[in-house]
Amino acid sequence: MKGQLLTNEKLAKYTSWRVGGIADTLYIPFDKADLIEFVAGLPANEPVLWIGLGSNLLIRDGGIRGTVINTKGRLKAMYRTEDGLVYVEAGVPCAHVARFCAEQGLVGAEFLAGIPGTMGGALKMNAGAFGGETWSLVKQVDILNAQGDVIVRQPTDFTVNYRSVKGEDGEWFLSVLLQLPEGDTIASQQKIKGLLEKRNQTQPTNQPSCGSVFKNPDGDYAARLIEQTGLKGYCIGGACVSEKHANFIVNTGNATAADIEELMSIVQTKVNEQHGVLLVTEVCMVGEKL
């Protein structure tokens, strides 16, 4: 093994919310081949959690029993294939994918520019913005299973919905082949610039968060419903409903995962009482409570 194996590692620094307890073990692979070998060597019943940039994760304060695999800064190959597709490994940041596609004169990936996660996380979440969605670009994926086998899968092997992707249990995304139509590089780059400006105007991008906490209910916006409850600026400990975007909870410095979880529950209760809508969490909640 050429990667880094850490024990009792604090996970707060691996999440965009900057909260989370300790992982029994955290593995940072050297590259794809190294990761495959590591996973193949794990005990059969070892609990495994893959994380990318931790930008959609609430890791509870009691941490993770088992092994966490972190692909941040690893599995970062990306290139144009001979048949014009784009090969992207799981650790490549979404912003790099958007820029690379634009430079290649391929259009449709601009929405990925402002999503602060990896391609692996985007595949798992069907990340999307401004009308674009990750899986609308997917031609084929390579997955790794718990036995260490690499399997090629097609989009039809998955149930893909709004911020939800269901495949076989115990499989993770190693890489993807994206298929995009040809278009104009300059127009695509300008679109990226415009989308990033729009994000900065409407989102608290300078404070630790996980983006939208709740999914938008059919035909409505979670932010609109939360704003109407008057909870903007409401805090539990160091966790506050953002003044700038009501569907963001920001860590003002000393929030714990428990603060965030309690605030999420208050938001859900208030919205349900006032609007009769039960907001569903978009953020993935994992780990043990303290």
Contact positions toward ligand FAD, by CB under 6 A?
16, 49-57, 71, 90, 115-118, 120-122, 124-125, 127-129, 172-173, 203, 205, 209-211, 284
Could you tell me the smallest distance in angstroms from the CB atom of residue 199 to ligand FAD?
7
Question: What DSSP designation does 13 have?
Answer: G
Q: Give the residue with the Cβ less far from ligand FAD, 100 or 173.
A: 173
Tokens of 73: 């800064």
Tokens of 126: 């069907």
Catalytic residue among 55, 188, 212, 242, which?
212
Could you tell me the smallest distance in angstroms from the CB atom of residue 157 to ligand FAD?
14
C-alpha 121: how far from chain center: 4
C-alpha 218: how far from chain center: 21
Which of helix, strand or coil describes residue 21? coil
Could you tell me the smallest distance in angstroms from the CB atom of residue 89 to ligand FAD?
9
Residue 18 annotated in active site: no
Q: Give the residue with the Cβ less far from ligand FAD, 13 or 83.
A: 13
Residue 212 annotated in active site: yes
Which of helix, strand or coil describes residue 120? helix
Catalytic residue among 163, 175, 242, 261, which?
163
Residue 103 annotated in active site: no
| Angstrom distance (rounded) from CA 255 to CA 285 | 16
User: What angle do the packed helices 94-103 and 185-202 form, to 10 degrees?
Assistant: 150
Could you tell me the smallest distance in angstroms from the CB atom of residue 219 to ligand FAD?
19
Q: Which residues are catalytic?
A: 163, 212, 282
